[in-house]
Structure 1
Amino acid sequence: MKKILSLALLLFSISAMCQNYKLEEKSILSGEKKIGTFEMVVDTLKIVLFEKANVESMIPDMVIELGVDPKSVRYISESSFMGNGSIRELEVYIPSPKKTPPSKDRFQFGYSLGRHTDMVNFRLKYYRYYGIDATLGTSIHRLDNERNFAYIGLSNEFNQFYKLGWRGHASLGPILMATSNTNEMTISGAACLSLQKSFGKNAYFGPKWFVGGYNELSLGIVIGL
């Protein structure tokens, strides 16, 4: 009985220690104290600890924090404050989409080129997964298309494709359309779906769909801040 109680207390202590750890800008913190670092080197997750700590359970969070495709992580390299080190194969398990944290970008600016329309878009995130999505569309490369539009909608991030390295958001709102050389304007509703894959720090590319009052499929780049 004493052994079982001792084991339970030990497991509880380890669990409590892990709960105090957090990740911030490629650093591992215990409270406000920096106890280690982590980074990606080609296909290896490299962890360096300045003091003894068990951060095994935080590996998926590190991969998410770095914004890399989980399937691209093949190995893990661990170094300790004692100078000991090891490297082993690694298979990263990413938690369910509901537990995947929201994007860290507060602002996003993008340009998309569609079949008929050039689009400049802006997204402001105001709380966790929620934001405001705005797009202005016109045609520079298609002189025969004289339609222009302005769209603003409420958006929500989704992470169902995060295991494949993709994130995105969907929005719904009014769209104002105008035709060049006329005084006519019409207002309608539209839905917008945007998928993004990272190709650098705070840089993404991917498709954008508009469905409803204006239908368009485009491909573009996004810069996050």
Structure 2
Amino acid sequence: MAMRTDLQAEPTALPGTLASEYAARWSELVAGWAARPGAVLGTLGPAGTSSDLAARFLAAEHGLSVELFDTFDDVLEQLLSRRLELALVPSAYAGLTRFHWHRDLRLRAFFPRATPEYGIAAGSGGGLPPGDGPVSVAAMWEVRRIYAEVAPAALHGRDVDWVDASSTQHAAEILADGGAQLAVTNAPGVRTYGLRWVATRPGAEILWTLFGRSEEPAEPLAADLNP
């Protein structure tokens, strides 16, 4: 059976179409910012998180106002209640699907930008936890894999007791307050809390997504019509 050769062009045509679509969305977004300076952008805090740094970059370029929240759930709630114009969420965030699939939200734009340096930090003394028993490590769930990637040989084979953190800065704070022996954090966290690097890796270039509310109200679900 002869194969259809016209299908061979589709894979190369699609990226160009998508690029045009999202270039148009970005232009629309920037034009809106220029027309209404001070639009409020919400993302994960506190100051020094990778999300905060990406938001501040956009704010400086386009005259935006930035608000920081303890969790992305808080960001989502504030966006839906119209206290924010846009939410900035990294593609690496485990709960990003909640934004993508929400019927009242729209992906307005996205852009690549590298994070700061990440790694494993110890307290101000800088030493590794002694012994060969379990070691407690404060970290966000999304960056725990960095620990295994960069851990020095002295930590290999030691069990890890994870201490949940809501951000890179929270992880650094937990360590500084004695709530863990090590932390997976970023360079601003190390500087802010006077920590010392045990091991590092360069920042990662990730996609940053910008979500806004849909222009049209969503159709009610059946459940909404039958309380």
TM over 0.5: no
Question: Whose relative contact order is higher, 1 or 2, with alpha carbons under 8 Å and at least 6 apart?
Answer: 2
- Structure 1 or 2: larger helix share? 2
Normalising by structure 1, what TM-score?
0.28
